[in-house]
Structures are given as C-alpha cells and as structure tokens.
Amino acid sequence: MKSIYLDYAATTPCAPEVADAIAACLTLEGNFANPASRSHRYGWQAEQAVETARGQVASLIGADTREIVWTSGATESNNLAVKGFVEALRREQPQAPLHIITSAIEHKAILDTVAYLEAWHKVDVTYLAPNADGLIQPTQVADALTENTCLVTLMAVNNELGTMTDIPAIANILKRHKALLHVDAAQAVGKLEVNVNDWGVDMLSVSAHKFYGPKGIGALYVRRDPQVPLVSQIHGGGHERGMRSGTLPTHQLVGFGEAARLVSEQLAMDEARIRELRDRLWAGISELGDVWINGHPEARVANHLNVSFAAVDGEILLASLAKVAVSSGSACTSASVEPSYVLKAIGRSDQLAHAGLRLSVGRYTTEEEIDFAITEISRVVSLLRKQ
C-alpha cells in the first residue's frame, strides 16, 4: 500500500457521480451555458439545472429553495452572514452599540471576520471558552447575552476536534432575545442530520467539498420568515436576490446538488460504517499508551479523531507519516508552526498541542487502510519515542 488518505475533514474527493455530473456541464455538447442568459434555450436549461441543485441542497438541510444563497464556500458564507448582518444593522442605527457572541475555537473564517468587525466597526465581541472536552455549553451563551447582543455565531461541529455544539438548545435560549443565530455547519452537513427548522437557526453556512462535492462552491441559508437583513459583500449584477452577485458556475452547482442528493440517500449507512472505522483506528493506536483523545469522546461526529502523543515532537511526527495523509489541525492553518489554538484552548500543553493529529475517515476509507494506518502510526511513534 503506497499511501492512504485520512484527512477527509480537510476535503473530500468528489464522488464519481458528482464528477460525471460536473463533466457533463463543461463542453458544447453539455449544459455549459450561463444560467442568467434568458434569451435562449441553452441559458434556460442551465438555469433549470441550477434551480434543481438549489432544491437538492435545500432539501438536505430542510430549507425552502428561496432561502438558499449560492456562495464560493463556507468562508464566504460566514463573511456574508456576519458582516452582511452587522452592516445591515449599521445602516439602520449607525451609532448603536452592537455585541456578538462567538467562541475561542471557531474556524478562522469566523474569528478573523469578527476581529475585523471589532477593529473597524466598533463591535464588542465575547469569545466563549470551551471546557476541557472542547464543548461550548448553552448556559455560556445565556450568561453572555446583553441587551446589545445582535448575533450569536457558533459552529455546529468543530473542524479540529469534531465536537458538536447543542445548537437547538442555544436557539431555544435566543427565542427570548432579539439576537439572531448563525451556524457554521461546514463540518456538520453530510456527517449528521441537519434541519434548519428543527435547529431553529437564522443563517447556516455550507461547503460542498466537505461532503464529496466540488471545491469553490457553497451556500448560505438565510431565513425568509421573518427575512434576515443582509448587505451584499460582492456587488455587480444583483444575482441571488441581491445578496451575492456573480455568474453562477453551472457545473459546480450541479455537482453540489448531486453531492447533496447522495448524502441524503446514504447518510445513515455512511455514518455507521465510518464510526466503526474511526473506533477501530482509535482502538489500534491507543495501545501505544500515552495517547490522548482531544475533544469529547462521545459528543463528536463519526469521522473525526483528534489525538495527541506524549513524548513525541509534533513536527517530526507529521513529517515522518509520509504514507498516511493526516493533518495537525485545520487545513487552513496547517502551514503554521504554532501549536493548535484549539488544543491550547482546551488545556493541552504546548507539547501535546504540537503533537496533535487530526485523523478523519470518509466514505471511501477501507478496513485495510485503517489497519495500515494503525501499523504505520504505531511504528513511527515508537521509533520517535526511542530517540
């Protein structure tokens, strides 16, 4: 076995059905046209394909098709939701004090966005600290609410730990408050059942490449009743009901829709099989001793396993695992030599935070690959501990 892929949390390969659907939209013989070209049948067919995909994505998360706004991915969705909402409030009340609640272990797409609002729009931000299991508790949100709180933005599933936040409980707290709830669900959609109405969210970010769709495409769910006010962050044509301008990429959206359809059909089966593989992996590498699970052992999605190895240099460990593709944390910060800010936030020492690995399993992982990974990780860790 040459090399295996255990970094499904960073990105997933396109499902074969998705790749076929995308390819069919690229050439003259396919559905290649601009969906905004309404003067000929090529454009009509492209628009119909885009709207079919919109319906498939909406169905996956229990939304109305009119509540789906296409974006380039979860990062843009997060920016549109958070900055777009704050700017809409600022237009109504330029000097009003505004307060946002988030957590210290959010993805950088949220942390950098709220930091921008702090610096340039004078928005107060509360960063909730996770407990030792990497969980943000609903009571923390309740305690942090003020009369100026306009938005709570929390991820449904942490991208490094895989830990899950009790979004419905937080939404229930906010029923008695004016603040809206935005959820970064990039690591949740496709891995567990997500229903925006059952969860009670106002906005929700989705990324196609996290569940076997193409990169470069995503969506933002924006509740219609009552309508969430948003100021567009990209101007130039008024597409997506004025919330996001730009020519829609038919091929990517068709792929996004097909990935959503497949997940809708296969989620329960995929989740059960992936959980068994993840647990098999943990059972194997835990025999090394001095291996720590990072994050809650139960309140996490099936595909994530984040572990730290005592008495091992993290950078050397990662470099030595050439035959097993894993990450030291978020793919967006993997070039950093700093210890994971998420692992530090849950109380891990610098050594354990540096020696943390995120191993993530997916639809195409096999038992043979898991057994190979156990053997290879055990071999490398054992060698490093003898040095």
Whether 226 contacts 219, CB under 8 Å: no
Largest Cα–Cα distance of the chain, in whole Å? Answer: 71
Identify whether the C-beta of residue 131 lies closer than 8 Å to the C-beta of residue 105: no
Neighbours of 334 (CB within 10 A): 14
Q: Which of 373, 358, 367 is nearest to 7 (CA)?
A: 358
Q: Which of 14, 25, 150, 332 is catalytic?
A: 332
332 is catalytic: yes
CA dihedral 116, 120, 124, 130 (to 10 degrees): 10
Calpha distance 18→257 (Å, rounded): 9
Residues 6+ apart with CB under 8 A from 109: 74, 75, 78, 79, 184, 332
Q: Are 127 and 115 in contact (CB under 8 A)?
A: no
Q: Specify the residue for token string 């059960």.
A: 272
In the chain, helix, strand, coil percent, each to 5? 45, 15, 40
Q: Tokens for 28, please give them.
A: 């003259």
Give the residue among 38, 34, 37, 65 at the shortest CA–CA distance from 219. Answer: 65
Give dist(CA 277, CA 282) in Å, integer: 9
Q: Which residues are catalytic?
A: 332
